[in-house]
Amino acid sequence: MSQSMPDTQAKSAPATSSADGRKVLVEVTDLKKHFPIKSGILFQREVAAVKAVDGVSFKIYEGETLGLVGESGCGKSTTGRTILQLYQPTSGSVKFDGQEITDLKGNALRRMRRKMQMVFQDPYASLNPRMSVGRIVAEPLVVHNIGTKKEREERVAELLELVGLNPYFVRRYPHEFSGGQRQRIGLARSLALNPKFIVADEPISALDVSIQAQVVNLLEKLQNELGLTYLFIAHDLSMVRHLCDRVAVMYLGKVVEIAESEELYTNPLHPYTQALLSAVPVPDPVVEETRQRIILKGDVPSPINPPKGCNFNTRCPVSVDVCFDQDPELVEILPDHWVACHRVI
């Protein structure tokens, strides 16, 4: 699916719709989340900061799935949590359905969170082991004071059926379920309030390969039935290609490339994206033999002290002098294909 990114030039699109009339549900502009590092007596003095998210901008259209990929520690999960205001952003803007949410507090933020939910990565840690499945799934309804006790019980049974679990499991506890079943319980909980937008933070990475496809198929089924919009955070690039309409690639707190899924996989323009995709196996021995693997040298720099200029310049195989002085902007190189790279621009 297509995208129009915010830009300082005249080509920026309206905040509420794309050129083809699709509605923008989530708009993130120059979002930053820095975690302070404090020292001194009683840790009162800030000496540095971990720049986990450092100026991220993108839009998510209603009904689509945007994939967010990159190495561990690049800021993917922090981006998702900051969008949902689980982390207070250092700066930047997050608009949901046209409304700025970074300045919401108290009851206003609570009401907004009914529309935005999250599925966490670890199905073993995200469920309270002391609560039954029925209480876990009903908890959002209790927190927001929705329905009577009987209505909540009926809603829980409906949700468990929706995600493929037996409603008779309501009195069981998380330790009695497999990893895939626990992730379905977490998904049922996220759907309790009829949200419009779900951040799926690596929902399949902790599961067996045989279970991953079941959970992904369930996510697709629910999206089609309920009209959900996803931000799908993942490591598995093959799964992202299958599930996502568009893909954003992150490196060291910044988005370096955004494009439609097929466009990104067939025509990656940023050197980092090319290196990532070169590591994905191709199920064709002839193609696999002739394919060139791009091996990046060195380690990912520390987010406490990122390089001057382009964050990728210390590992980039095609870097030039300007890469060490100027941070490249995210620019539309091809229709709906955005890249932050001096060599491509």
Ordered per-residue pLDDT tens for the chain, 345 residues: 334 343 433 333 334 666 567 899 999 999 999 999 888 777 678 888 999 999 999 999 999 999 999 988 899 999 999 999 999 999 999 999 999 999 999 999 999 989 999 999 888 889 999 999 999 999 999 999 999 999 999 999 999 999 999 999 999 999 999 988 999 999 999 999 999 999 999 998 878 888 888 888 899 999 999 999 999 999 888 889 889 999 999 999 999 999 999 999 999 999 999 999 988 877 767 766 777 788 888 888 999 999 999 999 999 999 999 999 999 999 999 999 999 999 987
3-class secondary structure per residue, 142-186: HHCCCCCHHHHHHHHHHHHHHCCCCHHHHHCCHHHCCHHHHHHHH
Compute the distance between CA of residue 200 and CA of residue 298 in angstroms, rounded to an integer. 30
Residue 150 lies in a domain: no
Provide the pLDDT for residue 330: 94
Residue 281 lies in a domain: yes
Residue 202 lies in a domain: no
Check which CATH number belongs to the domain holding 247 and give it.
3.40.50.300
CA dihedral 119, 77, 84, 97 (to 10 degrees): -90
Kindly report the length of the chain.
345
Provide the pLDDT for residue 288: 67
CA angle 108/112/114 to nearest 5° reads: 125
Q: Which helix (H) or strand (E) holds 92?
A: strand 91-96
Residue 178 lies in a domain: no
Phi and psi, residue 86, nearest 5°: -75, -30
Provide the pLDDT for residue 20: 66
Provide the pLDDT for residue 94: 96
pTM: 0.89
DSSP one-letter code for 218: H
Phi and psi, residue 338, nearest 5°: -110, 135
Compute the distance between CA of residue 61 and CA of residue 227 in angstroms, rounded to an integer. 12
Residue 300 lies in a domain: yes
Residue 215 lies in a domain: no
**Domain of 80, in residue numbers:** 1-115+231-345
Residue 187 lies in a domain: no
Residue 170 lies in a domain: no
Alpha helices in 267-337, H assignment, sequence order = 271-278, 285-290
Q: Is the CB of residue 303 less than 8 Å from the CB of residue 90?
A: no
Q: Is the CB of residue 257 less than 8 Å from the CB of residue 338?
A: yes
CA angle 323/327/333 to nearest 5° reads: 85
Q: Which helix (H) or strand (E) holds 67?
A: strand 65-69
The number of domains in the chain is 1
Compute the distance between CA of residue 340 and CA of residue 329 in angstroms, rounded to an integer. 5
